[in-house]
Amino acid sequence: MSEDGAHGITIIAFIGTVFSPWFAWAHRRGEVDPAEHCCMNVALYGSPKRWAMTDRRATALKRDADNLAIGPSTLHWDGTALTIGIEERTAPVPSRLAGRVRVIPDAVSTRGFVLDGAGRHRWQPIAARARVEVTMTHPALRWSGPAYFDTNTGTAPLEEDFAEWDWCRAPMRDETVVLYNATRRDNSHQSLALRVKRDGAVEDMEPPPPARMAPTLWRLPRPTRADGGKVEAVRTLVDAPFYSRSEIRTHLLGQESTAVHEYLNLRRFRSPILYSMLPFRVPRTLR
């Protein structure tokens, strides 16, 4: 998010585009190489808004220990910062989305977490405390502010093991709080509540009480956890039939924080009607 709150950006590099209908249809036909469905998803918030999520084939993927290229977009880690070169086409209305983003962690965390009982899904908050410098050429924008960097890995489709989850990242004065609540398809639950220090140390904390905000226009709930249930949605950044991303105002550890919240409903994602809608937002290239 920008320092003044006017702008924001989310970038997700997928090897196995888990929210792509093309990837889902390929899974239904049998085993599929995740590299055959790779993607650089870029969502720009504020004014102007932009969205790009092009599902690409394995020939578009190149990677080594410090570099990842998906089509014309790239990521490079130099030991202190992650530099992202964006060169994408937006959807559903095609236009150029291009620029350079640098994510500079305060520190790197190494602790990871298993999210399901079978150990098929893992999550790691790499840098819960970071800074971002955004320089876009198309559209022309330049801003900086607080940032976050994490990774998910899995060996099975999300919808096979999860019914829903919600996530929240709240920057505080001297630490960052991350909340991750998952409901699995077997109706078991997991609730992670973490304090990430300036040096990258990740500590468990007692999960705050459950809290809810007003639903989205698609009638998705926005569950989370907060001190005394004090939480409200300030701005909806993404409002999709199965997924929402929001800017919220919450209370944690006795402090007020402007945080980012996500909710994912994988029951809705499994809907055949939804699959028929997604290609307009997630086109697929021939190379």
**The pLDDT of residue 31:** 82
Judge whether residue 281 has pLDDT over 90. Answer: no
pLDDT, tens digit, for every residue of 69-120? 999 999 999 999 999 999 999 999 999 999 999 999 999 999 999 999 899 9
Mean pLDDT of 134-145: 98
Split into its structural domains, the chain has a count of 2
Residue with structure tokens 């009982």? 117
Average pLDDT over the chain, rounded to an integer: 94
Domain match, 76 and 58 both: yes
Do residues 200 and 135 share a domain? no
Residue 141 and residue 248 in one domain: no
> What is the reported pLDDT for 275?
65
Amino acid letter, residue 96: R
SS3 101: strand
223 and 92 housed in the same domain: no
- Say if residues 132 and 146 touch (Cβ distance below 8 Å): yes
Q: How far is CA 120 from CA 28, 96, 154, 160, in A?
A: 19, 37, 5, 10
pLDDT the model gives residue 271 = 80
Judge if 212 and 147 occupy the same domain: no
Q: Print burial letters for 272-283: b (CB count within 10 Å at least 16), e (below 16).
A: eeebeebbeebb
At residue 118, the pLDDT reads 93
Of 272 and 144, the structure prediction assigns the larger pLDDT to: 144
Instruction: Check pLDDT > 80 for residue 13.
Output: yes
Average pLDDT over residues 121-137: 97
pLDDT in tens, 46-70: 999 999 999 999 999 999 999 999 9
Residue 93's contacts (CB-CB under 8 Å, 6 or more residues apart) are none
Asked, for residue 78, whether it belongs to a domain, the answer is: yes
pLDDT of residue 54: 96
pLDDT at residue number 202 = 97
What b/e sequence results for 207-243 when a residue is b if at least 16 CB atoms lie within 10 Å of its CB, and e otherwise?
ebeebebeebeeebebbbbbbeeebebeebbeebbbb
CA 17 – CA 31 distance, rounded (Å): 14
Q: Is residue 149 part of a domain?
A: yes
The answer to whether 130 and 147 are in contact (CB under 8 A) is yes
Q: Has residue 278 been placed in a domain? A: no
Closest CA to 221 of 157, 171, 259, 268: 268
Q: In the 3-class helix/strand/coil scheme, how is 37-100 assigned residue by residue?
A: CEEEEEEEECCCCEEECCEECHHHEEECCCEEEECCEEEEECCCCEEEEEEEECCCCCCEEEEE
Residue 280 three-state SS: helix
Q: What is the mean pLDDT of residues 274-282?
A: 74
* Cis upstream peptide for 92 (omega within 30°): yes
Question: pLDDT for 15-43, tens place per residue?
Answer: 999 888 888 888 888 888 999 999 999 99
Q: Which domain holds residue 213?
A: 157-271
- Regarding whether 90 and 142 lie in a shared domain, the answer is yes
| Domain identity same for 94 and 162 | no
Would residue 236 count as lying in a domain?
A: yes
Say if 284 falls within a structural domain: no
Better-scored residue on pLDDT, 156 or 100: 100
One domain, residues 224 and 236: yes
Residues 92 and 10 in one domain: yes
Report the distance separating Cα 158 and Cα 266, nearest Å.
Answer: 8
287 is a domain residue: no
Same domain, residue pair 29 and 39:
yes
pLDDT, tens digit (0-9, with 9 covering 90-100), for 175-214? 999 999 999 999 999 999 999 999 999 999 999 999 999 9
**How many helices (H) does the chain have, and how many strands (E)?**
4, 20
Taking 90 as the threshold, does the pLDDT of residue 171 lie above it? yes
| 71, 11: one domain | yes
Is residue 279 a part of any domain in this protein? no
What is the C-alpha separation between 100 and 30, in angstroms, rounded?
Answer: 38
Same domain, 79 and 127: yes
pLDDT of residue 210: 96
The answer to the question of residue 277 being in a domain is no
